[in-house]
């Protein structure tokens, strides 16, 4: 694969948050997290559902980020990552490890969360409407106050 410039912009101001020469969005986001660059309000819709499968976003800050309607984070390491106010509608979150992650008031409508590990995660006010939550582990140990579970699939 050839390198390209990946520019991640703020969805409100259009300002560049992070820029890197790389082969994929996944590598750019992993590097941004490794360098402790906050991805607050990042607009990731412009990457057209580019795969983030297995990404290591541990300790990342994606507060208010918009992942669009096709985010593929299957098998990603999202431990202790902040997704407060993030938009993850229709995201593929199967088999993700989101222990201790913060999804406060996030939009996970119709997300596929099967087999997610959610021990100690914060889903306070999260919209799970229509999401697939079958096989989610430790949701009982997560903060789900005011979360919307209407029409979701559960075991």
Adjacent-strand bridge partners of 21:
5
Asked: is 38-155 a CATH 2.30.30.90 domain? The reply is: no
Q: What is the pLDDT of residue 138?
A: 86
What's the mean pLDDT in 15-30?
Answer: 96
**0.75 exceeded by pTM:** yes
Residue 54 — pLDDT band, cuts 50, 70, 90?
Answer: very high
DSSP string across 98-110: -TT-B-TT-B-TT
User: Using the 8-state DSSP alphabet, how is residue 122 labeled?
Assistant: B
d(CA 31, CA 103): 22
DSSP string across 11-58: TTT--EEEEEEES-HHHHHHHHHHTT---TTEE-GGGTT---TT-B-T
Q: What is the pLDDT of residue 155?
A: 85
Residue 43 — pLDDT band, cuts 50, 70, 90?
Answer: very high
**Residue extents of the structural domains in the chain:** 38-155
Considering the chain, what percentage of its residues have pLDDT values greater than 90?
Answer: 88
């Amino acid at each position: 694969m050839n390198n390209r410039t990946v520019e991640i912009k703020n969805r409100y101001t259009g300002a560049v948050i992070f820029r890197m020469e790389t082969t994929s969005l996944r590598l750019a986001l992993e590097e941004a997290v490794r360098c402790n660059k906050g991805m607050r309000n990042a607009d990731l819709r412009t990457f057209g559902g580019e795969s983030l499968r297995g990404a290591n976003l541990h300790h990342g800050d994606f507060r208010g980020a918009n992942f669009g309607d096709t985010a593929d984070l299957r098998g990603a390491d999202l431990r202790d990552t902040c997704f407060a106010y993030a938009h993850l509608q229709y995201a593929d979150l199967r088999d993700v490890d989101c222990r201790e992650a913060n999804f406060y008031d996030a939009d996970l409508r119709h997300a596929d969360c099967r087999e997610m590990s959610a021990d100690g995660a914060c889903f306070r006010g999260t919209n799970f409407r229509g999401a697939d939550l079958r096989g989610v582990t430790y949701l009982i140990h997560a903060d789900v106050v005011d979360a919307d579970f209407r029409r979701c699939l559960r075991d």
